[in-house]
Structures are given as structure tokens and as C-alpha cells.
Amino acid sequence: MNNSVESRDTSNPLLVVQEVNKSFGGLTALSRVSLQIQSNEIFGLIGPNGAGKTTLFNIITGLYSADGGEVNLAGQALLRCKPHVIVQHGLARTFQNIRLFANMTALENVMVGRHVRTHRGVVGAIMRNTSTRKEESAIRAQALQLLDEVDLATAAEHLAKHLSYGDQRRLEIARALATEPKLLALDEPAAGMNPSETLDLQQLLRKIRASGITILLIEHDMRLVMQLCDRIAVLDYGKKIAEGSPAHVQQHPLVIEAYLGGNLA
Amino acid sequence: MRPGLNKLQTGWHALQRDRRSVVITWLALGLILACLPFLTELSLGRSWVRILDFTLLYIMLALGLNIVVGYAGLLDLGYIAFYAVGAYLYALLASPQFGLHWPVWAILPLGALVAGVFGVLLGAPTLKLRGDYLAIVTLGFGEIVRIFLNNLNTPYNITNGPQGISQIDPIQIGGIDLHQTQHLLTLTIPSTHLYYYLFLIFTLLIIFVSIRLQDSRIGRAWIAIREDEVAASAMGINTRNIKLLAFAMGASFGGISGGLFAGFQGFISPESFTLFESIIVLCMIVLGGMGNIAGVILGAILLTIFPEALRYLGEWQQLLLGRVWVDPNDLRLLIFGLALVLSMIFHPAGLLPSTRRARELHARRSILAQEQDSLYEQQR
Amino acid sequence: MDIFSQQLINGLVLGSIYALIALGYTMVYGILGLINFAHGEITMFGAMVSLAILHALLLHTGLPTAMIFALALLGAIGFCMALGFSIERVAYRPLRNAPRLAPLITAIGMSIVLQNTAMLIWGKKFLSFPDIIPIQRYQIAGANITNLQVAIIVLAIVLMLGLWTLIQRSRLGRAMRATAQSPELAALMGINPNRIISATFMLGAALAAIAGIMVNAYYGPAHYTMGFMLGLKAFTAAVLGGIGNIAGAMLGGLVLGLIESFGAGYISQLSGGFMGSNYQSVFAFTVLIIILVFRPSGLLGERVGERV
Ligand SMILES: Nc1ncnc2c1ncn2[C@@H]1O[C@H](COP(=O)(O)OP(=O)(O)OP(=O)(O)O)[C@@H](O)[C@H]1O
Ligand SMILES: [Mg+2]
């Protein structure tokens, strides 16, 4: 792997989350959470169940509106943007509870991911002129290549709903990659995977980072997080209680307390 | 010869044979469609050719609604309003009502456009609503359009109210009046047959457009929205615009078939555009198979012919029971309603489910492998 | 005669009836998240069944009128409760976990089935309410009010108070609220959600039956299509108040009734004579669309986003 932690430019973060607040009725899901993610790092976001990790994802990807704060991606303000605009700016995600297009094939799922980077409309579709045909075959080719990268080429024509759990998780990653993100946000990608699948996932994420994409990772599998992430932030009850290298976080008393009884290593 | 090459060659022969059988199938289909009105008249009588014409109109309508409900998954219960818009536009621009007599080729595109605009006007404020709310709002919209058609005779007479508009110009194409029997060499072609051919052309056109849209970037976006709207927007699809597009496309199909309907009938009134017409078209696509073009066509054919067949029920009652106990016409909607309920419970995919499953079962390995090969070719 | 206070009274009567029907929509929605399209038809059946009983008993027995009326009322309520129960069992329960579009389509299908069944049974004629309620008129603040109007308003208020107490105080009410909050949790606490759902449908149907009789007795003849418009307007009322919210349905019903009665009175003036009272239904729809677009959570509903 050619990228190294040291060579990153820390003065120019890719994603800046500043003082984000969110509450649901009386429940404070996030309180003044701030993060900075550097270009091309793998950043882990951990915390006990209900800590607010997914809520933060939903806010930075525009699915929920924040009660306050700011989010910037490469200098672009994201709050108050529609989800599809945020994807355009270069942030793509996967979902904790897999949300594939169940009755579309794996290939079509990834092809939908190309939507945001392609342009032909109704007239082109009806006329099927050269530029539309070209674009369409490019979409296909790129989608197939992405499927191949996540090891799903043989399942291209299978309906998403008939894939195994692990395959579905990787298909979601391929679909997100198809949008050409700068930052890829993964919500528990290893959930439901067996150890060997998790190992493959680890390789895959390294490969993705090597291709120049920054990764924000929510994960409960501590071994994966500790091995993979450059830096980690820990949320508990909506507050950031620690941030730093895996070693630092592992030693942190607040983190140990939050995970009391949980297995951190 | 190496076994691989051998296989390739048999594959090639199979393809050749395939291609030949495809051509033959299409030719046969074309021939049947061309002769259908004459065959129908011979076997069932002239009135059935009219039913044939209506079948084609309904196929167009159903394919339009299929874009909205089948592809984009938006339950539109006021779809018939767009049919009404197309029909009234034709009637107003080509009848003594305002003394206007525009040509068909000018009205139909305009009808598609105006209906499309209506679609956008309806969709723009409502498409962010949840599915069941959307259903009710579209239902309300359909009723509003009908109420206006019914009442826009005072203080200014625009629609002629409940009496409707009559003496609508027949459709004329290149000097041929479709209301008149035409003679071609030794062949006598009655008006119903002429309309059949016109409608057939438009139906084929709409099928063509449906197919093209279905296999496009836009079509995929529609289906993605139907499958999971949140995920679709999180994958960069501008769900509002893409849904509006579905509404506009579906509406314009409705507008075209409405115009054709007005020219064909020569008379229209608000009664042709009730909520139940919307429901019947919905029935067609639900029973046939939402999202699948062939299924939708089948649904439209069956449900147009079904009420006609039901008429025999009256004769049988007369024959067997001595009198007509139940007017078969009164049973029509009851049966449609039952069909909706039963099919949703027992066979939600419809008679001809979407081809996706079939495609998955016979995954076309060969094509896929080819494409992958060429992909690696490019990379090298 | 004072037009304003007259329209106020008319609006209150209309609104009470809408509120009773709207409660059925809102209760079912609160628990299942489903719009029971067939609810309007239940109202229609309430009117039809009570008429059938009234006519039969008036013709063939010498029972006192009050008793006949009570029997008709009870009969209609019982019938409608059974109907509500069966609709849920047959058309909705099998689809509880199906995609959203599915129960919506069966609901529409069910409504068509009920409507046409009523047509087969009672025909296409308008059926008027027998002349058994002696009408008395009073003058209040320059407006006419009849004993029937008073009875409708009072009965509606009593029923709503009763329902409110039932939901806030009784075991069934607590179970209903728990199920609406979270069916899984309720099930864990030993509540059988299927029973609660059935009970909800039956409760709503009973109120609808009474409303159907009121419509028939007060507004005029019953017809197999009457449920459609009534249902739609009551649904509008439920949305106006905030669907899923019981107090909202009551408030929404009243507000819609008032809007409609004042609107119908002034619609012609407002549009400069362009629109007559023929457009009254347009009015209700327009209200519905405006609320849904600008405040889909209604007057009292909470704004809740979809959980991702
Ligand atoms: N749409 C919502 N409405 C109400 N409460 C919500 C909503 N979304 C999340 N919450 C609440 O906010 C809190 C944080 O939830 P969140 O899903 O962000 O946790 P998480 O850290 O992702 O947990 P997990 O590890 O279990 O996925 C929880 O208490 C949850 O119940
Ligand atoms: Mg989570």
C-alpha cells in the first residue's frame, strides 16, 4: 500500500462536522458532535448501541435535518442540501439495515449508482442515439467492473434480494462506489458477515482506500476497526467521548467505561 | 477442432436459427395484427371490431398508467383526468363548440403536451407525499377535473356541461376521412377498421416508447424509486424530478389516447371520465402484472373484452332462469373489485409477472461473459 | 334570519357527523398506518341496514316507534361491526407485511366490492328515511335549529366523550395506545395485537354506522354511492386534524364542517359568480390538498419524519 498515515495533509480536512445537534422529541441523539476526517484516511466511528452513529450518518447524507451545526465536504456546506445533491458533491453511503433495490439485479443496482454521474434523458432513451448508446454501454461496463471488484461478477444477473447477506453488503458498497465518491460512509458493513467474509471485507476496504477514496466506517466489530482505522472517534449517548489512534482510544477510560463489560480488542 | 470452438459454432448456429425463428414470429404477428379486424368481423361481427378499437385505446391508457404505478410505484387514482384533458382538448379544437377545426396532427401532440403539463401541475406539489396520501390526492384531482368539466357551462359555456360535446370532427389523415368507408383496390375498409389501424400504429408507438424507457437510465431510476425511495435519493437520484417525469410521461400517453377517443367517438361527456374508469385502468395493470409491458397489455385486453363477454351472462339467465335476475353490467365493477382484492392477496405479481425473475432464472451467462471479456480487453 | 349563525349551526351538525366517521379512519391509521378506503362504505351500510330494519319492522310489527328505532340503530351497529371485523380479516390482515401499495389496492378493491354489493341488494334508487321523527323548530340567535340537529350534535358529543374515556381509561384503550406506539413492545407485554386491531376496526365501524344513520335521517335519502364522498370528506377531516390523532379527528371534523358550510354559502361571492354551489366538493378536495402539501401533520399531529 503506497499511502501512509504520515503523508496526509492535516491542514485540509475532507469532511468537517462542527457542533452538530439532533434530538428526536425529548431524546438527544447528538449533542455538539464535531469531527474532522482527513483525505484518504479510514476513520472509524464507534460507540454502544443507540449512541447516535447512524443518526450522524443520516445527517451528513441529508436524510435527516440537523437541529444545529455545520457539515462541510471539501469546503462545500452539506446541511440543508438534498440527499442527491450531497451524492453529487461526492459523499456516498451504505445502510445499516441493507437498502438495496430488492427486485433489481445486482448489475442494475450498481447501474443505478451511475445515475448521478450520467446525463441522458427521456429523448435520448427513446431515440437511442449514439451518445445515449455510448453512455449506456459505459454505465454497464463500469458497473460490471465494480461488481468484479467486490467479487460479485458471477452474481450480476441475480436479483439483489436473493443474494446472501454478505453479498448484499458488498453490493451496497459497489453501488455506492458507482457514484464516484470522495468519501465513502459505511454503516456496519461487517454486520452479519462470517470471519472469512470479514477478512475479505478488510482487504476490499484497503483496496478502496488505495484507490484514493476516504472511508468513514461505523462498525461494531472491534478487531476490524482497530486493524483498519487510522483514527477513531467514540460516541456515547450522542456525545463524542474520545478521538484518536486505535491505541489511544482503546486505553481511554471513558471509552472503557462506555463499553463496560463489552469486549474492546 | 477444439471443443471450445465447437461449442462456439453450435452456439452460432443456434443463434442463426434463433434469429430466423424470431423473424418468422414477428412476421406472423404482424400478419395477424393486419388481418385482425377482418377476421374479427367475419367471426364475431362488426361490433367486435369496435371493441377491438377500444381495446387498443385501453392498452395505451394502461401503458401510460403503468409508467406511473408500475415503474415509479406511485399510486395514481385520478389517471383518467389526463385522458379527459386529451379528449376535451380535441373536442374543443375540432368541433362546432367554438367553431374550430384544427387538424389531428396539430391537436394530438398538443394534447400530449397539455396533459403532460397537467401531470406536472398535479405532481409538483403532491409528489413528496407518502404513497397513500398521493393516492387520495390524485383521486381528488380526478374528481375535481370531472366536476369542472360538468360545470364549466356557466357563466361561460366552455365544456357544455353534462350534455358533453358532440359533432366532434372525425379524424382525417392525408385527406382520408376515417369515418367514411374507404376502398383500396378491391378491398372495402369500413370506418371501424380504419380506426383500428390508426390506433394500432399509436399503440405500437407507445409500446416502443415504453420499452425504450424501461431499459434506460431513466427507467432504472423509476424502478429504483419504486423499490426504495430513500435509497434512491441516497444514491443521487433527484427523486422529485424523476417522479415528475413519470407523471408527465404517463399523463401524455393518457392525453394522446384521450384525443384519439374523442375523434373516434364524435361525442364526449364527463360521464366517460369517472373515478371508476381510473380504477378499471388500474385493474388492468394490477391483474396483468405491474411493471411488465406484456402483462399490462394482456390485462387491458382481458378487461376490455370481459364486460362484453359478461353480456352473455344476461342471455344465459334469460335462457335458464326465464328472466334476467342480475344485470350483468351491474356485476362488472363488483367483479373488478373482487379481482383487485383477490389478486393482491393471492397473486400480487399479476398474470404475467415482470420479466426480471425469469431473467434471473435463465441468467444469460453468455452475454455476460462476453461483456466481461471485452471489459478486460479494454483494460489491457 | 341571520345567515352567519345559521351556517354556524349547519356547520356544527355536518362537522359532528364528519368527526364520527373521521374517528374510524384515524384509529385504524394510528394502529396500522393504513388508510381504510372502505370505511366510507361502512357508513353507507350503516344507513342501508338501519333503513331495511326500520322498514321491515314498521311494516310488519306494531312495536312502538322508539323501540323500532332503537332496534334499527343496534342492528346497524352490530352489522357494521361485523363488517369492519371481516374486512380487516379478509382484506388487510393477509397483507400486513406486504409492500405498501398492496393493502392500498385491496382497500380500494374492497370499497368497490362493498358499494356494488349494496347496489345489488338495495338497487340504484334513493331510499329515504321513514317519517318517524317529529321535527320541531326552535329559534336561537336569529337562526333556525331543529330537535334533530340538536340530537345529532348532542349524540356526537356523548359518543366522542365516551370514546375518549374508553381510550384513556379502559384496559382496551391502554392496549390500543400501546399497540399504536409499538406493536412489538405491546406483544411483549402480553397484548395480542390482532385482537386490538380487530377491536379498533369494530369500534370505528360502530361510529360510522351511527353517522350513516344521522346522514340518512338528516340530509336525505340513502344511496349505494353515498359512502364515497362521505368517506373522502371524513378522511379530509382526519388529515386536517392530524391523522392518527383522536382529538384531531374530532377537531378536524368540526373545522371541515364549518369550512364547508361557510364556504358553500360564500363560494359564489368569492369567485364573483363564477363558481356556484356545484363546486362544494371541489372545496373539500382543495382543503385536503392544501393541508397535505403545507402541513401534512395536520392541526394537532406531530411532525414525524420517516425513520431511516
Ligand atoms: N427517526 C427517529 N425517531 C426517533 N428516534 C430516533 C430516530 N432515529 C434514531 N432515533 C434514536 O436516536 C438514538 C440514536 O440512534 P442511532 O440509530 O443513531 O444509534 P446507533 O449509534 O446507530 O446505534 P446502533 O449501533 O444500534 O446502530 C436512539 O436512541 C434511537 O432510538
Ligand atoms: Mg446504527
pLDDT beyond 50 at B375: no
pLDDT beyond 70 at B196: yes
A157 touches chain B (CB under 8 A): yes
The CA distance from A42 to the nearest CA of chain C, in Å, is 24
As to burial, measured by CB atoms within 10 angstroms (0-12 exposed, 13-18 middle, 19+ buried), residue B308 is middle
C101 touches chain A (CB under 8 A): no
The answer to whether position C300 is within a domain reads no
The answer to whether position A170 is within a domain reads no
Q: Between chains, do B209 and A126 touch, taking CB under 8 Å as contact?
A: yes
Q: Mean of the per-residue pLDDT values for chain B? A: 86
The CA distance from A87 to the nearest CA of chain B, in Å, is 5
C-alpha dist (Å) from residue C81 to B273, C77, C165 = 34, 6, 20
The CATH number of whichever domain residue A61 belongs to comes to 3.40.50.300
d(CA B345, CA B364): 32
Count of domains forming chain B: 1
Q: Grid coordinates standing for B290? A: 405491474
Please tell me the predicted confidence (pLDDT) of residue B113. 97
Residue closest by Cα to atom 11 of ligand 1? A29
Contact A119, A100 (CB under 8 A): no
The answer to whether position C112 is within a domain reads yes
The predicted-structure confidence for A146-165, as pLDDT tens digits, reads as follows 999 999 999 999 999 999 99
d(CA C175, CA C168): 10
Please indicate, yes or no, whether residues A215 and A189 belong to a single structural domain of this protein.
yes
- Chain C residue numbers with beta carbons less than 8 Å from the beta carbon of B333 are 112, 115-116
d(CA C213, CA C53): 12
C-alpha dist (Å) from residue C41 to B245, C11, C124 = 35, 23, 15
Substitution site in A21, A23, A24 for ligand 1 pocket (most atoms within 8 Å of beta carbon): A24
Segment B71-77 shows an average pLDDT of: 92
B140 touches chain C (CB under 8 A): yes
Q: How far, in Å, is the centroid of ligand 2 from the Cα of C272?
A: 58
Structural domain that includes position C269: 2-294
DSSP secondary structure letters along B286-320: HHH-TT-HHHHHHHHHHHHHHHHHHHHHHHHHHHH
The answer to whether position C307 is within a domain reads no
pLDDT beyond 60 at B57: yes
- Chain C residue numbers with beta carbons less than 8 Å from the beta carbon of A93 are none
**Of B61, B54, B94, B99, residue with least CA distance to B78:** B61
- Chain A residue numbers with beta carbons less than 8 Å from the beta carbon of C302 are 25
Structural domain that includes position A237: 5-90+181-258
Q: Between chains, do B154 and C288 touch, taking CB under 8 Å as contact?
A: no
Of A168-172, B335-339, C141-145, highest mean pLDDT: A168-172
d(CA A177, CA A41): 16
Which residues, 6 or more positions from B26, have their beta carbon under 8 angstroms from its beta carbon?
A: none
Q: Tell me, what's the ipTM?
A: 0.92
Q: Between chains, do A112 and B209 touch, taking CB under 8 Å as contact?
A: no
pLDDT in tens, chain C (308 residues): 577 888 899 899 999 999 999 999 999 998 888 889 899 999 999 999 999 999 999 988 888 988 999 999 999 999 999 999 999 999 999 988 887 788 888 999 999 999 999 999 999 989 888 888 888 888 887 788 899 999 999 999 999 999 999 999 999 999 988 888 887 888 888 888 899 999 999 999 999 999 999 999 998 889 999 998 899 889 989 988 988 888 999 999 999 999 888 877 676 666 665 666 667 777 777 888 888 878 888 888 765 455 65
Count of domains forming chain A: 2
Kindly state the percentage of chain B with pLDDT values over 70: 89
Q: Grid coordinates standing for B323? A: 328472466
Contact B258, B87 (CB under 8 A): yes
Those of residues 101-140 in C touching chain B at CB distance below 8 A are 101-106, 108-113, 115-117, 119-120
The answer to whether position C68 is within a domain reads yes
The answer to whether position C306 is within a domain reads no
Least confident of A138-142, A167-171, A217-221, C236-240: C236-240
B349 touches chain C (CB under 8 A): no
The sign one gets for the Cα dihedral B160, B166, B167, B168 is positive
Q: Between chains, do C112 and B340 touch, taking CB under 8 Å as contact?
A: yes
Residue closest by Cα to atom 22 of ligand 1? A54
Selecting from B129, B135, B337 the residue whose C-beta is nearest the C-beta of C116 gives B337
Selecting from B133, B333, B339 the residue whose C-beta is nearest the C-beta of C296 gives B133
- Chain A residue numbers with beta carbons less than 8 Å from the beta carbon of B360 are 105, 157-159, 162
Strand-pairing partners, residue B273, are: none
Segment A191-201 shows an average pLDDT of: 92
C-alpha dist (Å) from residue B215 to A155, A158, A191, B351, C271 = 20, 17, 34, 22, 48
Segment B181-207 shows an average pLDDT of: 92
φ/ψ (deg, to 5) at B261:
-60, -45
Residue A219: what residue type?
E
Segment B68-87 shows an average pLDDT of: 94
Please indicate, yes or no, whether residues A67 and A144 belong to a single structural domain of this protein.
no
Please tell me the predicted confidence (pLDDT) of residue B141. 87
C-alpha dist (Å) from residue C136 to B378, C131, C142, C149 = 91, 13, 16, 10
Q: Between chains, do B147 and C308 touch, taking CB under 8 Å as contact?
A: no
Residues with CB under 5 A from ligand 2 (ion): A 54, 96
Please indicate, yes or no, whether residues A76 and A144 belong to a single structural domain of this protein.
no
d(CA C281, CA C278): 8
Q: Between chains, do B233 and A83 touch, taking CB under 8 Å as contact?
A: yes
Please indicate, yes or no, whether residues A143 and A254 belong to a single structural domain of this protein.
no
Scanning the structure block, which residue is given the C-alpha cell 354506522?
C209
Please tell me the predicted confidence (pLDDT) of residue B332. 86
Substitution site in A23, A27, A65, A236 for ligand 1 pocket (most atoms within 8 Å of beta carbon): A27
Least confident of A211-220, A243-252, B225-234, B310-319: B310-319
Chain A residue whose CA is closest to B210: A126
The answer to whether position B267 is within a domain reads yes
C95 touches chain B (CB under 8 A): yes
Final residue before a domain boundary, out of A117, A133, A165: A165
The CATH number of whichever domain residue B53 belongs to comes to 1.10.3470
Number of helices (H), then strands (E), belonging to chain C: the values are 11, 2
Q: Between chains, do A58 and C308 touch, taking CB under 8 Å as contact?
A: yes
The answer to whether position B73 is within a domain reads yes
Contact C37, C279 (CB under 8 A): no
Those of residues 139-198 in C touching chain B at CB distance below 8 A are none
Please indicate, yes or no, whether residues A24 and A76 belong to a single structural domain of this protein.
yes
The predicted-structure confidence for B84-107, as pLDDT tens digits, reads as follows 999 999 999 999 999 999 999 999
Count of domains forming chain C: 1
C218 touches chain B (CB under 8 A): no
The answer to whether position C69 is within a domain reads yes
Please tell me the predicted confidence (pLDDT) of residue B284. 93
Show the DSSP H helices in C182-225 as ranges: 183-188, 193-219
Q: Which helix (H) or strand (E) holds C262?
A: helix C246-270
For chain A, list the contacting chains (3+ Cβ pairs, <8 Å): B, C
Segment B62-85 shows an average pLDDT of: 95
Q: Which of B284, B342, B345 to mutate to test the interface with C (most CBs of C within 10 A)?
A: B345
Structural domain that includes position B173: 45-288
Please indicate, yes or no, whether residues A112 and A78 belong to a single structural domain of this protein.
no
A64 touches chain C (CB under 8 A): yes
CB pairs under 8 A between A and B: 129
- Chain B residue numbers with beta carbons less than 8 Å from the beta carbon of A63 are 230, 233-234
The CA distance from B348 to the nearest CA of chain A, in Å, is 14
- Which residue would you say has higher pLDDT here, B311 or B63? B63
The predicted-structure confidence for B126-167, as pLDDT tens digits, reads as follows 777 777 788 888 888 898 899 999 988 877 899 999 999 999
The predicted-structure confidence for B254-312, as pLDDT tens digits, reads as follows 999 999 999 999 999 999 999 889 999 999 999 998 889 999 999 999 999 988 888 77
The CATH number of whichever domain residue C230 belongs to comes to 1.10.3470
The answer to whether position C304 is within a domain reads no
d(CA B242, CA B237): 8
pLDDT beyond 60 at B365: no
A151 touches chain B (CB under 8 A): no
Residue ranges lining ligand 1, Cβ < 6 Å: A 24, 27, 29, 47, 49-55, 96; C 305, 307
Q: Between chains, do A63 and B234 touch, taking CB under 8 Å as contact?
A: yes
Segment B180-186 shows an average pLDDT of: 84
- Chain C residue numbers with beta carbons less than 8 Å from the beta carbon of B344 are 95, 98, 102-103, 105-106, 109
pLDDT beyond 80 at A49: yes
Segment A162-170 shows an average pLDDT of: 94
The answer to whether position B39 is within a domain reads no
Ligand 1 atom with minimal separation from the A64 CA: 1
Reported pTM: 0.88
